[in-house]
Chains A and B, each alone.
Chain A
Amino acid sequence: MMSLNIIVLVKSVPDPKTPPTLKVDGSLDLKNVKIVVNPIDKYAVEAALQLKERYGGKIIGLSLGDHDNIDIFREIIAMGVDSFIYIKDPDYQRFDTLQKSYVLSRAIKKIEKDLGRVDIVLCGVESSDTNMGVLASQIGEWLEIPSISYVDKILEIKNGSIIVKKIIEDGFITLRSRMPVVLSIADTGYEPRIPSLRDTIMARRREIPIWKTSDLSLEFRETVLKTVRFKQIESKRLGKIFRDEDVDKMIDRFFEELKRDGVSLLR
């Protein structure tokens, strides 16, 4: 039996089901927005769980943020990770990807010291709020280990290497890489399991240690990318919506409107 030490990185994001709103000055209005686990990260969790089921080992969930709602991570514990660690930094909102990946890589190093070895680091391909998609590569660079992004599925681990199916522009590519490795997982090859009621109850009783960034002996503390402002996507659309129980009447009005606007569907 192999026994893998796996770390899954999970991000807290504003609930994607709630449309984001802006304040007058172009900054995000995050009042009353529910914080949830980045949905794509759950695919990484599922990938980790399947690896553990197949090869044995230990999964540690890890997240960096500034909020206090650690209960959102209990779902990840209920899904089956062995433990979860939350790193809290009050300056988190200002961090860019360089700082976030650096802090997380130092935390991974600390976990590696305790465990002796980390074999795989997983995360979702991108977060639903910033959509950068750089985390896996940057962590790979900080840790000086290989990284592969846009993994559809992990196929096999054998003799210290890992074989994955990766999504590329016009298809798929199967790659073999040495380990340890950082992988970002897409939402195409896995179906995140829904935890049972029992596991949900048990997860409520588990402790989630909170680390402070000051515990991590960080050297690099700069934020280089600044967000100037956000903008609502302007809709210059006409927004002419037709609604009628009488479908024929509705289509009549629709065609009349097209004619009035000089739009011809047929060419």
Chain B
Amino acid sequence: MPWDFEFTKEQEDLRMVIREFAEKHIAPRIIEFEEKRMIPNEIIEGLAKLDVFGVVLPEKYGGLGLDPITAGVILEEIVRADLTFSLAVAYLVHTSWGYIASKYGSEKFNEEIITKAAKGRLWIGIATTEPQAGSDVAGIKSEARKEGSYYILNGEKAYISGIREAREQFPDGGGHLTLVYTDKTKKHRGMTFFYVPMRSPGITYRLEKEFGRKGWSFGSFAMENVKIPEEYRIGEEGRGFYIAMEGFDHARAYIALANAVGTKRALEIAAEYIKQRTAFGQPIAKFEGVQFQLAQHWAEAEAAYNLAYKALWALKKEMEGKINRFEVTKICATAKYFAVTTAKKALDDAMRWMGAYAYTEENPVALALKAVKSYDWAEGALEIMLLIIAREVLGREFIR
């Protein structure tokens, strides 16, 4: 595998576009995201105008049709500017699940929904978790039954990002790719994926006061006889579980990158601070104990960064038909596991070096730590990541 660790000129050009926007419009306002618990509309509109919401969506439907690595470069610049991770969530969830929706959705769905998603007029999220079932996907209870050319959905989804934004913040609304049973007897093979617009009649919701990543909403919604046209079914009946697993791989690769980049940036900030702060007459940066820790975290963050890009590369290869599904799943799980565990440890230490100063709602390192805790479970619990890796290495028969 002769790697080229350099990005292409085009990727660097695109990076600079986002960096310029991010430095000017995003970075100065991140405390506002946390305090107001929302992203200002101007920022969403500004990003939409730059084509950020259509990066991986097909050109045929108004997207840029770019690959996951390029999408990762753009995510990098967003995370660097916003260590609260709220914009990272907005971008990576829409990017991964938007891609999946377009790939498996009908022509009509693409023409109607993906065209708007590509222009940033509509946001796409994911809803698999339920109050009683997270990692145990088979334990979901939501179901759909067919009635003519519609499906009627009932059930509840919990711990879902972006319900409010999909209802109110984007001009054409938005919806979540929702996993439900269409045939309970078939277990995993009886699940189907639907695009459920959040403005649909029959949907009620409530929002939680999340601990971190406060700029992007977090809550649950209930579906009571929600009518979904069959054009909004994503993939065939019974294929929902497998499509969802594929989508999780995409999301995990981006999450891995976001965590790695966030860690690097937080370490940069902490390093600047400890060069200045003194204890016992010396800058904290002069104490070897701190230096060793910083170096270790830096090494791990660098490894996580490269592993994340390998996962994005694997997704790209899959789009080209040159790698099998299991390889992709293994590496995406590995990347997410490694990046998130690295991030949590590094951010924890970074906060500690910064001392009392870091214990405020305005310290980006503290905000990042709160955000990355969500990745203990978001888009796949860490323990599940480990099971996936073990399964791929040892073989299915060893996994209970």
* Complex contact flag A–B (Cβ < 8 Å): yes
**B-contacting residues of A (Cβ < 8 Å)?**
71, 74-75, 78, 194-198, 200-201, 204, 243-245
Q: Report the nearest A residue to B17, measured CB to CB.
A: A200
What chain A residues lie within 8 Å of B51 (beta carbons)?
Answer: 196-198
What chain A residues lie within 8 Å of B132 (beta carbons)?
Answer: none
Contact B21 A197 (CB under 8 A): no
Binary A-proximity of B16-52 (CB < 8 A = 1, otherwise 0):
0110110010000000000000000000000001111
B270 → chain A closest CB, angstroms:
15
A16 → chain B closest CB, angstroms:
14
Q: Quick one: given A71-B9, A245-B278, are A197 and B14 in contact (CB under 8 Å)?
A: yes
Question: Complex formed: what's the CA distance from A201 to B64 in Å?
Answer: 9
Q: Quick one: given A196-B49, A244-B278, are A201 and B9 in contact (CB under 8 Å)?
A: no
What chain A residues lie within 8 Å of B277 (beta carbons)?
Answer: 245
Q: A194-B24, A204-B9 are in contact. List 20 more A-B contacts (CB 8 A).
A: A75-B13, A78-B17, A194-B17, A194-B20, A194-B50, A196-B49, A196-B50, A197-B14, A197-B18, A197-B50, A197-B51, A197-B55, A197-B64, A197-B74, A198-B51, A200-B14, A200-B17, A243-B276, A243-B278, A245-B278
Contact B17 A204 (CB under 8 A): no
Contact B21 A201 (CB under 8 A): no
**A-contacting residues of B (Cβ < 8 Å)?**
9-10, 13-14, 17-18, 20-21, 24, 49-52, 55, 64, 74, 276-278
Q: Report the nearest A residue to B59, measured CB to CB.
A: A198
Contact B52 A197 (CB under 8 A): yes
Contact B21 A194 (CB under 8 A): yes
| 19 CB < 8 A contacts A-B | A74-B13, A194-B17, A194-B20, A194-B21, A195-B17, A196-B49, A197-B17, A197-B50, A197-B55, A197-B74, A198-B64, A200-B10, A200-B17, A201-B10, A201-B13, A201-B64, A204-B9, A204-B10, A243-B276
Q: Report the nearest B residue to A203, measured CB to CB.
A: B13
Q: Quick one: given A245-B277, A245-B278, are A200 and B49 in contact (CB under 8 Å)?
A: no
Q: Report the nearest B residue to A74, measured CB to CB.
A: B13
What chain A residues lie within 8 Å of B10 (beta carbons)?
Answer: 200-201, 204
What chain A residues lie within 8 Å of B17 (beta carbons)?
Answer: 78, 194-197, 200
A77 → chain B closest CB, angstroms:
11
What chain A residues lie within 8 Å of B278 (beta carbons)?
Answer: 243-245
Q: Report the nearest A residue to B275, measured CB to CB.
A: A243
Question: Complex formed: what's the CA distance from A200 to B10 in Å?
Answer: 8
B63 → chain A closest CB, angstroms:
9
A244 → chain B closest CB, angstroms:
6
Question: Complex formed: what's the CA distance from A78 to B14 in Å?
Answer: 11
Partner of A200, one of B13, B24, B276: B13
Q: Report the nearest A residue to B8, measured CB to CB.
A: A204
What chain A residues lie within 8 Å of B24 (beta carbons)?
Answer: 194
Question: Complex formed: what's the CA distance from A245 to B13 in Å?
Answer: 41
A50 → chain B closest CB, angstroms:
16
What chain B residues lie within 8 Å of A244 (beta carbons)?
Answer: 278
What chain A residues lie within 8 Å of B50 (beta carbons)?
Answer: 194, 196-197
What chain B residues lie within 8 Å of A201 (beta carbons)?
Answer: 10, 13-14, 64
What chain B residues lie within 8 Å of A198 (beta carbons)?
Answer: 51, 64
B115 → chain A closest CB, angstroms:
14
